[in-house]
Amino acid sequence: MAETILITGGAGFVGRHVAKSLLEDGHRVRAFDSLIEQVHPARARPVELDPEVELVVGDIRDGDALGRALTGVDAVIHLAAEVGVGQSMYAVDRYTSVNDLGTAVLFQKLIDKPARRVVVASSMSVYGEGLYRTADGVLMEDVVRGPRNPDGSWDPLDGEGRAMTPVPTPETKRPALKSVYAINKFVQERLTLTLTAQYGMEGAALRLWNIYGPGQALSNPYTGVLAIFASRIMHGQAPMVFEDGRQRRDFVHVSDVVSAFRLALERPEAVGETFNIGSGEDRSVEDVARLQAASMGRGDIEPNITKQARAGDIRHNIPDLTKARTLLGYEPKQDFTRGLEELAAWVARQESKDRVAEARRELELRGLVA
């Protein structure tokens, strides 16, 4: 049945892709977005936003504007958020205001105008370090990354000083909130699941891993690492890789994330649940930098391994997708190499300012890279 769906942050990278998919299935889509300058330098409706999407420009903390945008809405996908882990460590008030107060205002309005379902974008950041296994095969849940190890390595060590191996992290792992952004995302998740249940709505939260794909904000220096690297490589600059580059992540293509949101919106099994969403394949940041340079025809550009850590960063985190697969019916499909090629082709058609050096200076000024 066709529904009217409100996507907060709907003019952004993920929102535009979700909107397109919903429109293709005959739904009506309204996007609520403040078009912040960091993401939308022109502060105008993005050309990539499907013309069929009704765009309401407003701040997520503006209850009156949000209340109007909720009129006639059946379901909400809540994406509006500040998303830079590093930036969250110094823009504390802005992040907490937009992410947490913004979600509170959304629910304050939903109490009066309830929707059938609300799906919130959470993050793997809520886990802090992922799950690890010691050399003796013991699973370690509450790993805390210390400063760099005395021998110069970065992997968390067990009690006997041996490096531990990252293993897929299930939703049952206790959260460990290591950045303001992680704190914000956990609050968003809890507000959504608590208040939907309280007020007769259905709620679900997706803990997303690192999303990439065409349409990423290339000029935003605080965006995901693949967009940052793409922008650097496009300008003939070496990607700046923090630590030793061996930190592992799961890079999930935006089309797979779209399918996860669709399932979370539709499946009865999603209600009241949180799900890990990734690609099921983990990679080191250095490998990704090399693959990406090659995909952009610049295999000659060597990554610059900075041996410096960014404040708030976790070392390794890779998802266990069992719950998403079995309960949600989620199955990631995008091949990474092909995804990078598609990203490279899209990047080649874009113009972006290389603002990464500027962003790094801001972190350095505040002592947040060491």
User: Is residue 247 involved in binding ligand UD1 (CB under 6 A)?
Assistant: yes
Region near ligand UD1 per CB under 6 A, out of 52-60, 135-143, 238-246, 293-301: 238-246
User: Is residue 228 involved in binding ligand UD1 (CB under 6 A)?
Assistant: yes
User: Is residue 325 involved in binding ligand UD1 (CB under 6 A)?
Assistant: no
- Check residue 331 and report its DSSP letter: -
Number of residues that bind ligand UD1 (CB under 6 A): 22
User: Is residue 208 involved in binding ligand UD1 (CB under 6 A)?
Assistant: yes
User: Is residue 123 involved in binding ligand UD1 (CB under 6 A)?
Assistant: yes
The type of residue at 262 is R
Which phi and psi (to 5°) does residue 301 adopt? -85, 115
Are 34 and 58 a contacting pair, CB within 8 Å?
Answer: yes
User: Is residue 8 involved in binding ligand UD1 (CB under 6 A)?
Assistant: no
Q: Which residue is nearest to ligand UD1 (CB)?
A: 123
Give the total residue count for the chain.
370
Which residue is catalytic, options 95, 181, 212, 222? 181
CA 352, 241, 41: angle at the middle one, nearest 5?
A: 20
DSSP string spanning 22-73?
HHHTT-EEEEEE---TTT-TT-S--TTS-TTSEEEE--TT-HHHHHHHTTT-
User: Is residue 242 involved in binding ligand UD1 (CB under 6 A)?
Assistant: yes
199 is catalytic: no
User: Is residue 124 involved in binding ligand UD1 (CB under 6 A)?
Assistant: yes
Which of 8, 184, 223, 274 is in the footprint of ligand UD1 by CB under 6 A?
A: 223
Q: Which of 30, 31, 29, 25 is nearest to 12 (CA)?
A: 31
User: Is residue 313 involved in binding ligand UD1 (CB under 6 A)?
Assistant: yes
- Chain-centroid distance, C-alpha 362: 22
User: Is residue 83 involved in binding ligand UD1 (CB under 6 A)?
Assistant: yes
CA distances from residue 319 to 165, 214, 269 in whole angstroms, order as listed:
14, 23, 20
Which of 132, 209, 275, 330 is in the footprint of ligand UD1 by CB under 6 A?
A: 209
CA 224, 181, 33: angle at the middle one, nearest 5?
A: 70
- CB 239 to ligand UD1: min, Å: 7
**Which positions lie near ligand UD1, rule CB under 6 A?**
83-85, 123-125, 208-210, 222-225, 228, 240-242, 247, 249, 285, 310, 313
Q: Catalytic site residues? A: 181
